[in-house]
Amino acid sequence: MAIATVNPATGEVLQTFSPMSGEMVQSLLDRSNKAFQQYRWTDLAQRSVWLNNAAQILEDEKAHWGKLITLEMGKTLKSAIAEVEKSALVCRYYAENAGKFLADTSIATDAPSSFLRYQPLGVILAVMPWNFPFWQVFRFAAPTVMVGNVGLLKHASNVPQCALAIQEIMERAGFPTGVFQTLLVEGSQVLPLLDDPRIKGATLTGSEPAGAALAAAAGKNLKKTVLELGGSDPFIVLPSADLEAAVEGAVTARLISNGQSCIAAKRFILVGSIAAPFLEKFVAKFQALQMGDPLLDTTDVGPLATPSIVQELDTLVQKCLNMGAKALVGGKLANNQPGNFYPPTILTDLPPGCPAYQEEFFGPVALVFQVPDLEAAIDLANSTKFGLGASAWTQDAGEQKHLINELEAGSVFINSIVKSDPRLPFGGIKSSGYGRELSHQGLLEFANIKTVWVG
């Protein structure tokens, strides 16, 4: 089966690729392994130069790469360009900070000298999603190559040109051949790769079933994994919140990548008297959104990545409506419109037992709940299997402390939307995965933290 670029806005097939043969995959694996034997000993300063070169290429050519992202997965051009800029940022962050992060750490013991040394593991497999086709990869690639590992990318099958472009950027930046390679293979070919002794670890960003399958295959082979999976992030608004800021944040947080983001706010939990004024403003802003061609500056919401995502989302919405929920905005597929468009939608009066309580809605659909107090908000926020991020809006210091302590999530943002930042660890708990990306902690996930004792 061909791997294809299909424009989500039109349904047009732009380019097709034949999946790599088994022999080709083995050849690339061998090249990665041989590259590691040399690359692991390269000077850290030289790696920094190459990574800064990659950042410069991204910055200089951001409009070009942004358009490629938009054509492959449908996010607006302005948000795609911002994604390329953020990819450059993470490259510069690790180029500038990896030296101090990887320096030997002295620890006082009864030995004359004892310390930790951080060394690479080898070939790391990355299975990456389509919703942030550059950012997800670079936030893996930047720390991976700075530690001295080499990367092998299995990208989502609907963004093959982005996958090849990232390898091109890394090679143009100066990284030796084999240090970062792309595998154009179907999903069924991924798990057997974990049996290969040349692969030392794996990371996946994607769905819960995909993460569980990868973890099982890696666990059978005693290989380290980092997983960043789904989310149904709560967005809690309390009566003391800055209403205007909360509404602006809510719209932005729900529509990241056309609503196709694990850390997009999905469940809006309104406490007490804030509910009515919040909803009035929230509905008005959703009604004003412009849906259409993602290449136009005037477009707020572009198409979803594939037809199947549209159908899955609409199925969840219709189940909620059939059980008694109300659509304040949207809720119906547009008739006879080309492309994978789903209208911005707000659902309220959601009955217990409907999909809104447990399922992840991957698209521009906001699920609104009203609760009487802070404790009820926290209980509802924690009631899902997911635990990626949480956003809460309140000016009350006591409420802030309570939310920070009680919300079950990998990150809690107070009076801000949830976002990833190279300086901060990123990841989830429960069914949202384990391990951390970004920051000092993310850099060391695929490092041998070697204890050294010198007597």
Instruction: Give the catalytic positions in this structure.
Output: 228, 262
> ∠ CA(291), CA(294), CA(295), 5° rounding?
140
Burial class from Cβ neighbours inside 10 Å (0-12, 13-18, 19+) for residue 23 reads: exposed
Sign of CA dihedral 233, 239, 242, 247: positive
Residue with tokens 């597929």: 333
DSSP-H helix ranges across 194-334: 208-220, 243-255, 275-287, 307-322
Which tokens hold the place of 276?
Answer: 């009515």
Nearest to 266 by CA among 345, 211, 210: 345
Taking the CA atoms of residue 208, residue 213, residue 214 and residue 219 in that order, the dihedral angle to the nearest 10 degrees is 120
Structure tokens at 47: 């790696």
Q: Which residue has the tokens 């009864």?
A: 110
Please tell me the distance from the alpha carbon of residue 370 to that of residue 419, in angstroms, as a whole number.
Answer: 24
Query: How far is it, in rounded angstroms, from Cα 247 to Cα 238?
Result: 12
For residue 275 the two structure tokens come to 């509910």
Tokens 């905005």 -> residue: 329
CA distances from 35 to 25, 31, 122, 358, 412 (A): 15, 6, 9, 45, 40
